[in-house]
């Protein structure tokens, strides 16, 4: 048994860290007191990262990606989390709005027309599954796509969609055959400007990024060539993608927790109260000891799951475990890090206050904590 991280990954991670510190840190510093960053600045950062070879690094080389496997991808995401670069976290390697593996299910033309421009940091997309009436129970979506004369007419409404305000196209999940259950759901690529497709309200959120919004479809007509892969495959594509998405969340949460702990320990050794550094007080020591232990646990789950996934094994249960544990752990660790900083923790000079807000969403997106536990239990009960 060998727990050592292969040298080439260590080297890549070192390069990545240097890139973050040198090229991206100045952007993060510039916007640290802002809630929202202009879209053009996000694109600028993506182009920088593309140039350095990191944007889309997890996609296959055939489509213009870097060909990095899941284990390497997870290591870089963890490093990104640890850097506490928050505003630009989805602009460095890519997120749901950028190069995303779900489009690999598309036809050659779709890969050419939609995926490659994403990888080249020229375009943005959004992933639109959630609806006002269907979140955790995504099978309950009501958005309908009815086939008429070889074309589909889409009607419905999506909300909470990341990147909705400026996506060049949306991947929209709609019911094509209500009698078939999950096999009656299909993914459609709908371009901005298609008649009948509009961006609705922009959501005001806890973080205030103005990056989330509604999508409205009213008799929006698209051709067959806009179906991602095959009709009826939408839900299966979405679930496959979400399994990887859960590992992504776990990796970023584990890294963020480490970054927050690093700051907290340094602070505790320097900050003096009642005549000595607060690190000398047991109340503080227990907080850092618990945090380090929990991070270690999250990392162990993360690495072994990522390794399994890289070997092509089924990790639906493990990735749910990794996600629920890491996202809840990060909440605890970042909360403690804030507490150790006292009033300073509440100030935007440090990234902790912002991180505290951002990490809260990790327990909701890509399936809530409850849904992760449901997934784990379901698999577990089947195993006995």
Ligand X SMILES: Cc1cc2nc3c(=O)[nH]c(=O)nc-3n(C[C@H](O)[C@H](O)[C@H](O)COP(=O)(O)OP(=O)(O)OC[C@H]3O[C@@H](n4cnc5c(N)ncnc54)[C@H](O)[C@@H]3O)c2cc1C
- Report residue 328 as tokens: 């809840």
Residue 361 interacts with which of ligand X, other proteins, none, CB < 5 to 8 Å by class: ligand X
Q: Which one of residues 37, 66, 93, 103 is an interface residue with other proteins (CB under 8 A)?
A: 66
Q: Which of 96, 145, 249, 326 binds ligand X (CB under 6 A)?
A: 96
Cα separations (Å) of 195 from 104, 166, 217?
26, 17, 9
Q: Is 60 in the site for other proteins (CB under 8 A)?
A: no
Binding pattern to ligand X, positions 172-211, x when CB under 6 A?
Answer: ----------------------------------------
Choose from ligand X, other proteins, none: what does 7 bind? Cβ within 5-8 Å by kind. Answer: other proteins
Which structure tokens are listed for 217? 């479809």
Residue 366 known to be catalytic: yes
The yes or no reply on residue 276 touching other proteins (CB under 8 A) is no
Using CB under 8 A as the binding rule, whether residue 30 contacts other proteins is answered as: no
Residue 122 tokens read as: 């020229």
Neighbours of 137 (CB within 10 A): 9
Distance, in Å, from the CA atom of 74 to the CA atom of 71, rounded to the nearest integer, reads 5
Number of residues engaging other proteins in binding (CB under 8 A)? 14
- 160 lines the binding site for ligand X (CB under 6 A): yes
8-state DSSP, 227: B
Write down the catalytic residue from 34, 112, 366, 382. Answer: 366
**Considering the complex, what minimum distance in angstroms separates the CB of residue 318 from other proteins?**
26
Phi, psi dihedral angles at 149 (to 5 degrees): 50, 45
Q: Are 129 and 138 in contact (CB under 8 A)?
A: yes
Stretch that binds other proteins, among 30-38, 61-69, 213-221, 232-240 (CB under 8 A): 61-69
Residues in the chain, total: 384
Q: Which is nearer to ligand X, 37 or 295 (CB)?
A: 37
Which two structure tokens, joined as six digits, stand for 20?
């973050």
Beta-carbon contacts of 113 under 8 Å, excluding residues fewer than 6 positions away, are none
Residues 101-130 interacting with ligand X (rule: CB under 6 A) = 126-130
Q: Does 11 bind other proteins (CB under 8 A)?
A: yes
User: Which entry of ligand X, other proteins, none binds 129, CB below 5 to 8 A by partner kind?
Assistant: ligand X
Applying CB under 8 A, which of residues 68, 85, 324, 350 lies at the interface with other proteins?
A: 68
- Alpha helices (H) in the chain, listed in sequence order: 7-19, 25-30, 39-52, 70-82, 108-110, 116-119, 234-270, 282-310, 316-340, 352-358, 369-383
139 lies in the site for ligand X, by CB under 6 A = no
**Cβ count near 274 (within 10 Å):** 7
26 binds other proteins (CB under 8 A): no
Q: Contacting other proteins (CB under 8 A), which of 5, 14, 139, 378?
A: 14
Distance of CA 62 to the CA centre of its chain: 23
Q: Counting contacts by CB under 6 A, is residue 216 touching ligand X?
A: no
Instruction: Provide the CB-side half-sphere exposure for 356 (13 A, CA).
Output: 16
Q: Name which of residues 34 to 53 contact other proteins (CB under 8 A).
A: 52-53
Q: How far is CA 279 from CA 271, 275, 294, 296, in A?
A: 8, 12, 19, 20
For residues 55 and 202, give the distance between their C-alpha atoms in angstroms, rounded to a whole number.
Answer: 27
Interface with other proteins (CB under 8 A): 7-8, 11-12, 14-15, 18-19, 52-53, 57, 66-68
Positions marked active-site = 366
**Binding residues for ligand X, per CB under 6 A?**
96, 126-130, 135-136, 160-162, 212, 361, 364-365, 367-368, 370-371, 374
């Amino acid at each position: 048994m060998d727990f050592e991280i292969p040298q080439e990954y260590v080297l890549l991670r070192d390069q990545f860290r240097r890139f973050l510190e040198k090229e991206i840190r100045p952007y993060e510093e510039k916007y640290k007191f802002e809630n929202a960053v202009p879209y053009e600045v996000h694109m600028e950062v993506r182009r920088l990262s593309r140039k350095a070879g990191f944007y889309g690094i997890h996609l296959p080389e055939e489509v213009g990606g870097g060909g990095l496997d899941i284990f390497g991808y997870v290591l870089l995401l963890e490093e990104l989390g640890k850097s506490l670069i928050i505003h630009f976290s989805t602009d460095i390697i890519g997120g749901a709005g950028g190069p995303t593996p779900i489009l690999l299910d598309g036809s050659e033309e779709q890969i050419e027309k939609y995926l490659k421009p994403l990888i080249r940091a020229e375009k943005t997309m959004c992933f639109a599954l959630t609806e006002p009436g269907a979140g955790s129970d995504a099978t309950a979506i009501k958005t309908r796509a009815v086939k008429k004369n070889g074309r589909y007419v889409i009607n419905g409404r999506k909300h909470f969609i990341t990147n909705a305000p400026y996506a060049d196209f949306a991947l929209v999940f709609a019911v094509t055959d209500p009698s078939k259950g999950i096999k009656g759901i299909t993914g459609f690529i709908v371009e901005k400007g298609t008649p009948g497709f509009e961006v609705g309200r922009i959501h005001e959120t806890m973080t205030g990024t103005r990056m989330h919004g509604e999508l409205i479809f009213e008799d929006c007509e698209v051709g067959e060539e806009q179906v991602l892969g095959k009709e009826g495959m939408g839900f299966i594509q979405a679930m496959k993608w979400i399994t990887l998405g859960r590992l992504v969340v776990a990796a970023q949460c584990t890294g963020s927790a480490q970054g927050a702990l690093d700051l907290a320990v340094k602070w505790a050794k320097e900050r003096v109260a009642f005549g000595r550094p607060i690190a000398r007080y047991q109340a503080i020591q227990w907080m850092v000891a618990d945090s380090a232990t929990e991070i270690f646990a999250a990392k162990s789950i993360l690495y072994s799951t990522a390794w399994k996934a890289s070997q092509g094994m089924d990790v639906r249960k493990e990735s749910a475990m990794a996600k629920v544990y890491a996202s809840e752990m990060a909440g605890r660790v970042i909360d403690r890090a804030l507490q150790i900083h006292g009033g300073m923790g509440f100030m935007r000079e440090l990234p902790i206050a912002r991180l505290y807000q951002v990490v809260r969403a990790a327990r909701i997106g890509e399936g809530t904590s409850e849904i992760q536990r449901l997934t784990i239990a379901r698999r577990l009960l089947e195993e006995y």
